[in-house]
Amino acid sequence: MKTLLPGSTIGMLGGGQLGRMSILAGRKLGYRFIVLEPSSHSAAGMVADQQVEAAYDDPDGLRAFAGQVDRATLEFENIPARSLEILAESVEVFPGRLALEVCQNRGREKQFLKDNKIPCAPFAIVRSLPELEEAIGRIGLPAVLKTADFGYDGKGQVRIDPGMDLAQVWSAYEGHAAVLEGWVEFSGEYSVICGRNAEGQSCVYPLIHNTHRNHILFTSVSPAGVSAVLEKQAQELALSIADGLDLVGLVAVELFLTGNGWVVNEMAPRPHNSGHLTFDSHMTSQFEQHIRLVCGLAPGSAQQHTPACMLNVLGDVWKNGPPDWAGILEDPQAKLHLYDKGEPRPGRKMGHITFLGDNPEDCLARAIECDKRLYEAIR
């Protein structure tokens, strides 16, 4: 892999906020960007040099895109593997096909974890009601049934408890593969973001403590408040996953903390919502890190310099018009990031606010107070 130096053009598959923030970080390094995105006026396209408006599986659009860039990367994993093959005819693409194919399908993801002896929930791939019934007989209840493909923010998931009508549950999945996972009792949800370049040089960020509301990430806090031993174990799991995927770029690993230690829940081969706080609180943000790694540069320091809490801002709080940003920014240690995504629909991630401070508890308290103000304003 040849090092891609500043001044080169990077192609970004995907026009969402992850691509937007990666481009903003890469701009500071001197790179140029072209985005491929099916919809016009995308969040990433607005800060790129150019946007190619084409479907992710459009061969002509992909080849036109590839002909204009020096290297390609992606901002989310729901890209057909065939699309990477088309791009790879003329340009290097990172992360590669292995990482993409494993992480975009929950069945392959769980099998990868099992094959690499990484702790995860017991699981079974099911394609019919009889297979679901048989899997429940082995795994037990409660359990969670998830779509195998294209799930995020809790979409395509249902908890199955004793006494539920399995035929009714399965009716929403009919014709599609799904993954049944045993229920995991946990005391907290966490994530680790780590990176790796083509030379095998790696970096790993401090552990992040996450909370969710209505299946959508609510707050992320770092430092995470666990023991140094537990944090090191979580980081080592993430690094082993990066090596197993032969990763070039970033991988975010979501974990549950249980009475028996860590259980890996999901993985994403890209920057991650829980890592947005790194923009303001770490030596090298996850977005700059992603650009450095796919370009073949050495990893930047992942050291945290300031405690932080990130609060997701959803479209719900635009109910009565734009929120009171001026009031929120009266907090001198609040950092507002808006994604310019257009229509603020309920549940849609429109931005985030990072609260910096002397300790994570104070940062979290201010984030929760801000969230309370945002929702009180729309009642």
How many angstroms separate the first and last alpha carbons of the chain? 55
DSSP helix/strand/coil, 221: strand
Residue 183, marked binder: yes
DSSP helix/strand/coil, 373: helix
Residue 196, marked binder: no
Residue 151, marked binder: yes
Residue 266, marked binder: yes
Residue 320, marked binder: no
DSSP string, 120-162: B--EEEE-SHHHHHHHHHHH-SSEEEEESBS--TTTTEEEE-T
- What whole-number distance in Å separates Cα of residue 277 and Cα of residue 267? 18
Q: What percent helix, strand, coil does the chain show, rounded to 5?
A: 35, 30, 40
Residue 315, marked binder: no
- What whole-number distance in Å separates Cα of residue 17 and Cα of residue 43? 6
Contact 192, 209 (CB under 8 A): no
- What whole-number distance in Å separates Cα of residue 170 and Cα of residue 177? 11
Q: DSSP secondary-structure letter at 304?
A: B
Q: Could you count the other beta carbons within 10 Å of the beta carbon of residue 92?
A: 19
Residue 189, marked binder: yes
Residue 212, marked binder: yes
Residue 155, marked binder: yes
CA distances 254 to 15, 96, 209, 210, Å, are 24, 21, 10, 9
Residue 117, marked binder: no
DSSP helix/strand/coil, 84: helix
Residue 181, marked binder: yes
Residue 96, marked binder: no
- What whole-number distance in Å separates Cα of residue 126 and Cα of residue 107? 9
Contact 3, 70 (CB under 8 A): no
Which amino acids are annotated as binding site, given as ranges?
106, 146, 151-157, 181-184, 189, 212, 265-266
Which amino acids are annotated as binding site for ATP, given as ranges?
106, 146, 151-157, 181-184, 189, 212, 265-266
